[in-house]
Chains A and B, each alone.
Chain A
Amino acid sequence: EAGVAQSPRYKIIEKRQSVAFWCNPISGHATLYWYQQILGQGPKLLIQFQNNGVVDDSQLPKDRFSAERLKGVDSTLKIQPAKLEDSAVYLCASSLEFQGGHNEQFFGPGTRLTVL
């Protein structure tokens, strides 16, 4: 079974530039998550989709970050404009549809973003 795919793996941009990350979840996984992991910290949820609807974006800096999941499969996370503090690894994870109780999330390899 193929895992969660992400691209690009690395990205270096100047501050105020724009950047986009792509994620393809595990086949059949209805729930998709984007996490931000700053060096030395645990992952922090940015946004959670269930199918193509947003169920939690409370931690997403909406003035500069946006995400979409058209057709309930692939997802794109965009930052525009980027700030120095956005330097982090952006992790995509997926799980089966959440139906209460618990769910196991599987992570992709991540995209390491450096903002200069």
Chain B
Amino acid sequence: QKEVEQNSGPLSVPEGAIASLNCTYSDRGSQSFFWYRQYSGKSPELIMFIYSNGDKEDGRFTAQLNKASQYVSLLIRDSQPSDSATYLCACNRGSTLGRLYFGRGTQLTVWP
């Protein structure tokens, strides 16, 4: 079983819609969760991080964490064509001194 699994893509939504990206993790010892955005040919860029159960909002982005279900999600409201990218979910198991385990990413396309 992989450490981090993301819902298979690609995901395609119209401009203005809500895009929902999902991620599950296998290790209950995971403490911190990160969402990175990666444009084609570019390096990952941190969008949000979450440590506590519940929701965390930052502008159009909302991260949700449910540790009981080992589930993390990212909602993008009012999606824009510029949001088109691959979204990587990552977790930190704490015991591994900061090492991040990444999922393989979900490719999102927002069409005008």
Contact = CB atoms under 8 A, between A and B. Distances in A.
A14 interface: no
Instruction: Sort chain A's interface into a size bin.
Output: 20 to 34
Contact of A48 (B46, B94, B97): B97
B44 A43 contact: yes
Contacts, number: 63
Nearest to A41: B104
B10 to A, nearest CB: 12
A75 interface: no
B43 A108 contact: yes
B99 A102 contact: no
Interface in B50-106: 51, 88, 90, 92, 94, 96-100, 102-105
A45 interface: yes
A56 B49 contact: no
Instruction: Sort chain B's interface into a size bin.
Output: 20 to 34
B80 to A, nearest CB: 23
B7 interface: no
Given A42-B104, A50-B97, 14 more contacts: A31-B98, A33-B98, A42-B103, A42-B105, A45-B99, A95-B98, A101-B31, A101-B32, A101-B51, A102-B51, A103-B98, A105-B98, A105-B100, A107-B43
Interface of A: 31, 33, 40-45, 48, 50, 55-56, 91, 95, 98, 100-110
